[in-house]
Structure 1
Amino acid sequence: MKKIYIFFFLLVGFTNLYGQELEIKEELTNEEDEIIDLLLGEESIEDFIKSATNIQFLYFTVDYNNNTYFSGRDIGTDQFNTNPQISYINSNGFFAGLSSIYFSQFSPKWDYVAATVGYGKNFGKDKKYRWTSSYAKYFFTDNTDDNPFKNAFSLGLEVDNKSKTLGTELTTTYLFGDDESFQIVSSSYAQIDLHKSKNYHLKFRPQLNIIVADQTIQLAQINNGSISYITNNDFGLLNTQLQVPLQLNVSDFDFEFGFTVNVPSPLEGESNLGITTNFNFSIGYLLEL
């Protein structure tokens, strides 16, 4: 049976990657520690310039989700998804990366490859504010005209407290290609340190995401495992999402086990939308170049 669902265009947010905390083993040199502090907004640019030059990292991550939802909506297909990603991070504020996503029941299973480049800087008192900009290009496996958004340009503004235990980010994204759309995502987090030592850091980091979008983003139809797209022209609240992850940083490795709750908001023509949940697990590795 043909099923119609809303496809919220999943930006594989390198803006979020740049904003996340990267834990490095304490045996690193003071210069490397200060570089990571700058990336996290914990040190001033002046102190950084005095102590470091151009330092570069690669960050590898793989994320597994046991259920797949689009804009928090259950599309009636029981499947998992996996998202591998490799990111380049430069201490001067430049970042870039490649990512893809695998759906266990779709055809083709590998939906797209995304290439992203961006730049960000800290500013303001104590450098607690940060702006980022990025551009993403999507290369879909299915080379048809059914994927109207092949480009995305994002601008983000984030503010954190000095200890980086509370923060919020507002990101606006313009999607374009054969069609165009616009979305706003508000993300707020709180961090609770459960244990921190020389060798590892265990923390609890819940995050609330509120997604508002122009519903010309996409309507998709699934028929026999294949996807085709139509559009919707409504603007409003699309989904409210609560992420509850437990994060463990050991040396250059990051591990996360999380639980996500979606509360999708009905659009015109939708009804009886239920709350959806899923578990996720991810592993990351930071490599200095």
Structure 2
Amino acid sequence: MKKVFMTFLILSSGLFTYSQEKPNSEKEKEVDEIIDSLLEDEDILDDLIDANFQFLYVSLDYNSDTYFSGRDIGIDQYNIRPQISYIHSKGFIASISGVYYNEFVPKWDFTALTLGYGKDIGKKKWFRLYASYSRYVYSNGVDNPFKNALTLSFGAKNKQRTIGTQLSGTYLFGSDDSFQISSTSYASFKLFKAKKSSLKLKPELNIVIGKQTFELAQTYLQDGVIYTDYSENDVFDLINTQINIPLEFSTNAFDFELGYNINLPSAIGTESNLNTTGFFNFSVAYMFDL
């Protein structure tokens, strides 16, 4: 099970599962939300998309508990995730991010560098394609098998941007490789709207399906001697389902979010008796107009 745990750990602590955090492949959706929160007039938004503008989006996320692919590994700890993103109106995105665990050694787990490009398609721009490459630099000195990730995403939303969904496929590679499919579906309810401020309730349903390799051990007795044979099985199955219920408050260039998250991990291979897990999250972000 050591290899299985390492896979869950790597996938959950910064690649693209929805075990605990929004994935890097969701950046294009987050950019849309930022712009939409500032500009509700779609004609003005279209004019800006045709022009050239760029900004930096700096965020800090706090999660009250840490679970890996929704699974409790028996360590009570919080995590903090800073991120700086450069965003261009033509669809280019570059970011640097990382994660801090208060009980791990070293506490700073990894640094991620991501380059991506997104484009609206269709006459009414209800659909969006996005592709990205991420490179992961780990701090623990261990030869982690997944140091690179390629992601391709397809998203759709209604005209009012109150309902949307996105499907992403991610290929992870390094000294080993794996593949993952994730989906995000959301609804947005406007609770309050002023000239430069808004409050939204935006529940999300996140599903992660991925390839996992399990090491199975079979022990038997032959001629009075105990033998153990090991074999590896590849499984492509549902890993985790997460429900996220956040309140999002935007004012001027600031964004704040307070939410509660519920993980419903699915048993894979020899796993059993997986418990539902939950945690609170809080984030603050600021947009610098360049």
Scaled to the shorter chain, the TM-score interval is: 0.7 to 0.9
* Deviation of 1:143 (Å): 2.1
1:15 matched residue in structure 2: 25
Amino acid at match of 1:123: I
- Tell me the SS of whatever aligns to 1:19: helix
Tell me, yes or no, if the aligned pair for 1:23 and 1:249 is still in contact at 8 Å. Answer: no
Q: Secondary structure at the match of 1:22?
A: helix
Shift of 1:232: 6.6
Q: Is the 8 A contact 2:49 2:90 kept in 1?
A: no
Helix, strand or coil for the counterpart of 2:131? Answer: strand
Question: 2:37 touches 2:198 (CA, 8 Å); kept in 1?
Answer: no
Q: Report the equivalent of 1:225.
A: none
What's the TM-score once normalised by structure 1's chain length? 0.84
Structure 2 counterpart of 1:176, one-letter code = F
CA RMSD of aligned residues (A): 2.4
Corresponding position of 2:65:
67
- Structure 1: any 5+ residue segments left out of the alignment? 38-42, 219-230
Greater radius of gyration (CA): 2
User: Which portions of structure 1, spanning 4 or more consecutive aligned residues, are displaced by more than 4 angstroms?
Assistant: 23-26, 47-50
> Structure 1's 25 and 144: CA in aligned 2 closer, same or farther, altered over 3 A?
closer
- How far 1:8 sits from its partner (Å)? 5.4
Corresponding residue for 2:173?
A: 176
Structure 1 match to 2:220? none
What is the SS of the residue equivalent to 2:27?
Answer: helix
Q: Answer whether contact 1:181 1:217 (CA < 8 A) is retained.
A: no
Counterpart AA for 1:15: S
Please tell me whether residue 166 in structure 1 is matched to residue 178 in structure 2: no
SS in 1 for 2:249: strand
Q: CA deviation at 1:48?
A: 4.8
* AA at the equivalent of 1:286: M
Aligned-pair distance for 1:16?
1.1
- The residue correspondences of 1:125-164 to structure 2 (distance < 5 A) are 125-145=123-143, 147-164=144-161
Deviation at 1:161, TM superposition (A): 0.1
- Cα 1:266–1:8 change in 2 (3 A) is farther
**Conserved in 2, the CA contact under 8 Å of 1:180 and 1:216?**
no
Is the Cα contact below 8 Å between 1:25 and 1:198 reproduced in 2? no
Shift of 1:14: 3.3
Question: Which residue of 2 is the match for residue 82 of structure 1?
Answer: 80
User: Aligned partners of 2:184, 2:238: CA distance in 1, in Å?
Assistant: 14
Question: 1:49-97 deviations in whole A, cap 9, x for unaligned?
Answer: 76x2x21100000000000000000111000000000000001110000
Kindly provide the amino acid, as one letter, of the partner of residue 246 in structure 1.
Answer: L
- Length, aligned pairs only: 260
Q: What is the CA-CA distance between 1:200 and the residue it aligns to?
A: 0.6
Identify unmatched segments of 5+ residues in structure 2.
17-22, 216-231
Taking structure 2 as the reference length, the TM-score comes to: 0.84
Partner of 2:115: 117
